[in-house]
Every structure is written in C-alpha cells, then in structure tokens.
Amino acid sequence: MKKRFTMGERITDRLQLPTDILLGAAILTLSDNRILKIENVRGILESEKTKVRILTKHFRITIQGEELSVVRYSKEEVEITGYIEKLMYTGREEGV
C-alpha cells in the first residue's frame, strides 16, 4: 500500500528542509541506554521509575526501564536518565 504524504511533507521534501523545522517532528537522541533527550515535546503524560510517557505533535512516546528520572523539562525538550530498555511510539489518537 502506497503511503500518502501530507502537504507539509511534500513541501518539506521539495524544498529540502529538515522535517523537524517545518513539521515539528520529535528528535530523539539516545546516549548508550542511559540518557535520552527528546526535542519538540508537548508534555509529560506520566513519570514513574519504570515508565515515562511523553506527548509530541505526532506521537506518544513510552520509555520503559529501571530507575528512570526526568532530569530536565522545558517547553520544547525533556531529558530522561536511567537504564532505558524500551522505546515505543503510539499514534496520538490511540490509547492514552
């Protein structure tokens, strides 16, 4: 099945612009399995020692692991430390 692209995706591709600038895509930077930085966040939905859930423009991101801690949170970025074992993306319209 052919993927349908949004108008924003087509414009970004045609103008050769980074998608994060025009579309607000989440940018994840993982250092080993200990530090995760996520840019372009909308909010923190849940924060526990074994699970953190983050809301972005297009997805909910679930981080699972041990001794997880949100060490920095600003309007656009969140930094999580601990032993990160699993990252999952869920569409925004799917379960909370």
Domain-embedded: residue 16: no
Domain-embedded: residue 21: no
Domain-embedded: residue 13: no
Q: What is the CATH classification number for the domain harbouring 36?
A: 2.60.40.2000
pTM of the model: 0.76
Domain-embedded: residue 50: yes
Q: In whole angstroms, how far apart are CA 56 and each of 14, 66, 80? A: 24, 23, 15
**pLDDT, tens digit, 9 for 90 and up, residues 51-93:** 999 999 889 999 999 999 999 999 889 999 999 999 999 986 6
Confidence of residue 96 (pLDDT cuts 50, 70, 90): very low
Count structural domains, the chain: 1
Domain-embedded: residue 86: yes
Enclosing domain of residue 87: 26-91
Query: Do the beta carbons of residue 30 and residue 84 sit within 8 Å?
Result: yes
Domain-embedded: residue 11: no
